[in-house]
A = this chain, B = another copy of it.
Amino acid sequence: MISKEKQKYIRNLHSKKWRQNEGKFLVEGWKSVEELLTSDFNILNLYITRKFFEKYAELLQWKEYVICEPEDIEKSSTLHANDMALAIVEQKYVDITEVDYENYSLVLDTMNDPWNFWTILRIADWYGIKQVICSRETVELYNPKVIIASMGSFTRMKVISTDLTEFLENTQLPIYWAYLDGENVHTKEFTPTGHIVIWNESHGISEELEKYITHKITIPKFGWAESLNAWVATAVILDNVMRNINK
């Protein structure tokens, strides 16, 4: 079972302020906890059900965990589901010096909706992107609902918060951005590595960043809709980049 004291601590971690002060966050649900167990995150406390234990015994070797009733976990969780599991985990900050320039990265400009943020990261994860560079105003990464929405992608993605203007000014790599009259992504030859800037749909790209764009690209339109949303555009662009550089 979860001690009274830990129950209180977990409930405190539902608040952003507390998460920031403590440098900890919650990971909830079977799928997320399963992926957490194979990641390099530092798990401080792990609460699982007997069923979870039976299913993932192999992943649990050399880990410390407490077996609880599902209701015990649910009481402290932000999640209400059948597949209860909960971990208190140390937050991880990746420094700008750790950017891998050998592979594509996404650059997210002021993406402040947490759900959009992780949905984009899930798409990036499908296409093999391992790093995302975002402005300092981007959403708090460690919101428990956001972690759930990422469906495990949070364990694989290097997320780096930095001053985007400074970053784009100094990078030597091509910087791609989806624009209305750029080069057609269906026929464009993409460079083996680069940065793809994804803007916030409601604000558009900031003028300050726009001047660093080196390659304007366009998703061809066959019909009449005015625009595609940011997720959909990200997926279509990545599909075209990956097919081109892997051909």
Query: Which residues of A are at the interface with B, using a C-beta cutoff of 8 A?
Result: 119, 122-130, 151-153, 156, 186, 219-229, 231-232, 235-236, 239-240, 242-243, 246
Contacts and interface: CB of A to CB of B under 8 A. Distances in A.
Nearest to A153: B225
Given A222-B242, A235-B236, A239-B236, A229 B125 contact: no
Given A229-B119, A235-B232, A239-B239, A222 B186 contact: no
A125 B224 contact: yes
6 contacts: A122-B225, A124-B223, A127-B221, A151-B227, A156-B224, A222-B242
A240 to B, nearest CB: 8
A21 B246 CA distance: 55
A125 to B, nearest CB: 4
Question: Which A-B residue pairs are the 4 nearest by beta carbons?
Answer: A128-B223, A128-B222, A125-B225, A126-B225
B223 A126 contact: yes
Q: What's the number of copies of this chain in the assembled complex?
A: 2
A151 B201 CA distance: 14
A129 to B, nearest CB: 7
Contacts of A123: 225, 228, 232
B126 A228 contact: yes
Contacts of A223: 124-130, 156
Contacts of A122: 225, 228-229
B231 A246 contact: no
Contacts of A226: 151-152
Contacts of A227: 126, 151
B242 A235 contact: no
Given A119-B229, A126-B223, A153-B225, 9 more contacts: A122-B225, A126-B228, A128-B223, A151-B226, A152-B226, A220-B242, A231-B232, A232-B232, A235-B235
A243 B127 contact: no
